[in-house]
Structure 1
Amino acid sequence: MVLSAKKVQYDVKRSLVTIDFEDDLLHGNIDGGHTYKIICEHKQDKLEQIVQFEVMTGVEDIIEALDRARNTSVQVDEKSLAELANKFDPIKDCIKSLPFLNRIAFKQNQIEVDDNKKLKMIDAREIVAILSIFNIHLFDEQTHPIKAYSSKAVLLKQYLEDDTPESYRRFSDIAVDIFELYETIETEFPNAYNNAGGRYGRKKYSGYKGEGEVVAKSKFWQKPLNYKVPDGIMYPLLAAFRALVIYNAKTDRYEWYNGKRPKDLWDDVKESLSQSIMNFSNSIGDNPNTIG
């Protein structure tokens, strides 16, 4: 079992280990959930069994990547089985017009090549997570889509349950707008914050190297970027726009409130919204992962 913890103490005299879990979102079981379940089911049986524990501290900034690395085999297999069962078809139909569809990895070890170069693939779990942010049957003003950032594997499992994939056809009229909004935020957020009086380039995670220096490419359209915007900042900004989603019971489809596309609203609020999230970031130690 692999655990993330705030700190670990060992009492030599009593041979006692104390593990401190301070934050429910960042600390706890990273890998070994099935093992833990079996232990709980048999803890009264007095069995002579040994389980190796690995406790990691100071990994809060990379918790999502660590979770992905430790759980890749199980999650990717599940994803591959879902692809074989055509369970991603509703999502594919919603985003079939988008240019990055061929770069989405819906199955294990999926690789696409263009002009003899391997394309940078996008994990299908991320597509599910981003759409799930706007699933107002799943999240509302009281229940926030934190799992979209902190545990994409959980949302994938939730998506694959029963008839859930078919319900994602509700996104057919707004899915393209959602991913265009993601692209717009990723490419415009740093300058929006700078225009509001901030200095985004001073943040280590921005990767900024100077005016005109390309440090990354946008996630979906692969546009050159002078700044990086971590998912921990992107997801909350994106999630703010789920307030615009309404459900049309007659068509069983999601729509934008008053027909106003979120990309247009972003133009009106990007400076104030950027300033708001960065002020929050500064107040909690400027850690994108904690923001997410």
Structure 2
Amino acid sequence: MATKNDDIIIRFAHVATQPSKNDAGEESPIKRLVGFVQAKHLMPLLHKAGLAANPRSSRRNAVVEDILTTLENSPDLFRYMSKGLLIGTAHCEELQRNRFRLRFVDSAVEGVLDGGHNMLAIGLHMLKEVMEDADWKRIKFWDDMKAAWDDHEEELEKIKDQFQFEVAVELLVPSGSTENDIDAFLMPLLEVCEARNNNAQLPIEAKSNKQGFYDAIRSEVSEAFSNRVEWKPNTWEDDSEKRPVKVRDLVALAWIPLNALSEARALPTDIRVSPQNTYRNKGECSVRFEELMSRDDVTEELQGARRKLHHAGVASAFKILADIPELYDQIYEEFPTAYNEGGKRFAANPIVKIYDPAKRKAAKAAGKDASGYMTTEPKTPFFRNGTRCSYPEGLIVPLIYGLKGLMVVERGKVRWAVRDPSAFVKANLPRIAEAYQLVMNMARWDPQKISKDPNSYEFAVREFQNALSAGRRSAA
């Protein structure tokens, strides 16, 4: 919660208030102030405000470099060459001399709604005056810039008068000051933010994250795994790990238990995703997820645009989802060995590579084909554990979806039909792999054909169900 010390005062050089009533005389919940602000008067915004309200996190790219060039060569034209900043806040007090006191109480909704690249470029332009060139060039992300800004804040304050170029600023505030006025203002603010970012190809995952649709998933997965997920686009900054888990990959896997609920008519709407699209069309998975989670019978409104899950069935699906990434890695790692137990040689297929630096070196020394060996250890898709074989995931993704065969729906909730799904996979994967050879052979080991064919997924589900039934018969 923001305090008085978090207030930001910005001063417009020129400002106009646009009417908040439409042609019919009806009052809009949003009042719009537009004008120009000298860059030095935006420094309080850089001192205290982040980009949490902007669905994307800005990063240094060609767009930012073009803005920096404009600021360097034509600063007086910047206000015309850039759409500037869009700022939204439910708490605004008009002061004298075109000054406005802003307070961002809910930083997930209020703040810089659009113009993150402009904010980053303006901050970089100012920092260039107080930083070593080599250090300045290493700044790549908004958080990098903000850290450098905090380190050089006193130096920047001393030279602020040299930043007199003007920036176009649009300020959205409530039409009134009552609690009802503020609630009415916050409700459409996210939609405004989404629409403004459409030109920048705002991913639907950014909108879902901002509405809190991933919160229930985040609370179910382990902290270690959560730290590997890029919940908000363009926020991954771990130089030691170049491949984060994309949130759309997690959403796609969520449709395995969600489809189980849908088939049992345990969802409040007839919605599901084609099995093959959990791998081939993850964009559709995200769209359907947003559609499901936006329903009032699935989530309820909190303050502003955020929503909270209250549907017990969907919550149970997220509990199942928490186990699937580890099972995915387990199947990927153990499938080659399970396949070989049927008397076949998984590595005999040229799309499979074996991690064995010594054999690769020996083969090359002997003038033999060394393409079947790797010198870099392959990693599992989610937890990035070292493994011996590398092969296209499309080869075995139907088996991941096949885990639905180990799920049952009771009283509107989905659960595992076995006590330990990992132990079940370990014990039964050789049997399932032997049957699954039919799928691979019919597709001639083409991962594209396998991953696109819905019959592959149905086959895998049946094989897991058959293994489950066989286990129950032997136990009896």
TM-score range, shorter chain: 0.5 to 0.7
Query: Residue 171 and residue 240 in structure 1: after superposition, are their counterparts in 2 closer, same or farther (change >3 A)?
Result: same
How far residue 81 of structure 1 moved from its aligned partner, in angstroms, is 1.8
Q: Find out whether 1:254 has 2:254 as its counterpart.
A: no
1:216 is paired with a residue whose SS is: coil
Which range is displaced more, 167-176 or 100-109? 167-176
User: Residue type matched to 1:246 in 2?
Assistant: V
How far residue 178 of structure 1 moved from its aligned partner, in angstroms, is 2.1
CA distance in 2 between partners of 1:234 and 1:283 (Å): 14
CA distance in 2 between partners of 1:234 and 1:94 (Å): 25
Q: Find out whether 1:132 has 2:255 as its counterpart.
A: yes
User: Residue type matched to 2:255 in 1?
Assistant: S
What stretches of structure 1 of length at least 5 have no aligned partner?
Answer: 1-72
Which of these residues, 80, 91, 98, is aligned with residue 217 of structure 2? 91
What stretches of structure 2 of length at least 5 have no aligned partner?
Answer: 1-199, 265-272, 300-308, 360-373, 452-476
Task: Give 1:66's aligned residue.
Answer: none
Task: Give 1:243's aligned residue.
Answer: 405
Give runs of aligned pairs for residues 26-41 of structure 1, distance below 5 A.
none
Aligned residues: 212
Q: Find out whether 1:288 has 2:414 as its counterpart.
A: no
1:247 is paired with a residue whose SS is: strand
Q: Find out whether 1:158 has 2:288 as its counterpart.
A: yes
Q: Find out whether 1:207 has 2:333 as its counterpart.
A: no
Task: Give 1:79's aligned residue.
Answer: 205
Task: Give 1:182's aligned residue.
Answer: 328
Task: Give 1:35's aligned residue.
Answer: none
CA distance in 1 between partners of 2:420 and 2:325 (Å): 12
**1:87-142 Cα shifts (integer Å, max 9, x gaps):** 211211221x15221121222212132xx5244211111101112122212357xx
Instruction: Give aligned-pair identity as a percent.
Output: 21
Task: Give 1:147's aligned residue.
Answer: 277
CA distance in 2 between partners of 1:200 and 1:98 (Å): 35
| Structure whose alpha-carbon radius of gyration is higher | 2
Q: TM-score, normalised by structure 2?
A: 0.41
How far residue 262 of structure 1 moved from its aligned partner, in angstroms, is 2.1
2:390 is paired with a residue whose SS is: coil
Give the CA RMSD over aligned residues.
2.6
Task: Give 2:161's aligned residue.
Answer: none
8 Å contact from structure 2 (residues 255, 278) kept in 1: yes
Task: Give 1:108's aligned residue.
Answer: 233
8 Å contact from structure 2 (residues 229, 247) kept in 1: yes
CA distance in 2 between partners of 1:205 and 1:215 (Å): 16
**1:190-236 Cα shifts (integer Å, max 9, x gaps):** 11111221211122332225479554111222111211242223321
CA distance in 1 between partners of 2:223 and 2:394 (Å): 24
Q: Find out whether 1:218 has 2:357 as its counterpart.
A: no
User: Residue type matched to 1:184 in 2?
Assistant: Q
User: Residue type matched to 2:290 in 1?
Assistant: L
How far residue 256 of structure 1 moved from its aligned partner, in angstroms, is 1.4
Which range is displaced more, 235-244 or 162-171? 162-171
Task: Give 2:98's aligned residue.
Answer: none
Query: Residue 77 and residue 239 in structure 1: after superposition, are their counterparts in 2 closer, same or farther (change >3 A)?
Result: closer
Query: Runs of 4 or more off by more than 6 Å in structure 1?
Result: none
8 Å contact from structure 1 (residues 172, 253) kept in 2: no
Q: TM-score, normalised by structure 1?
A: 0.64
User: Residue type matched to 1:223 in 2?
Assistant: N
2:317 is paired with a residue whose SS is: helix
Task: Give 2:246's aligned residue.
Answer: 123
8 Å contact from structure 2 (residues 261, 413) kept in 1: no
1:180 is paired with a residue whose SS is: helix
Query: Residue 207 and residue 106 in structure 1: after superposition, are their counterparts in 2 closer, same or farther (change >3 A)?
Result: same
Query: Residue 181 and residue 209 in structure 1: after superposition, are their counterparts in 2 closer, same or farther (change >3 A)?
Result: closer
Query: Residue 229 and residue 265 in structure 1: after superposition, are their counterparts in 2 closer, same or farther (change >3 A)?
Result: farther
2:397 is paired with a residue whose SS is: helix
Give runs of aligned pairs for residues 47-66 of structure 1, distance below 5 A.
none
CA distance in 1 between partners of 2:384 and 2:434 (Å): 26
Task: Give 1:197's aligned residue.
Answer: 343
Task: Give 2:194's aligned residue.
Answer: none
How far residue 291 of structure 1 moved from its aligned partner, in angstroms, is 0.8
Bigger relative CO (Cα 8 Å, ≥ 6 apart): 1
Which range is displaced more, 181-190 or 100-109? 100-109
2:409 is paired with a residue whose SS is: strand
CA distance in 1 between partners of 2:429 and 2:324 (Å): 16
1:174 is paired with a residue whose SS is: helix
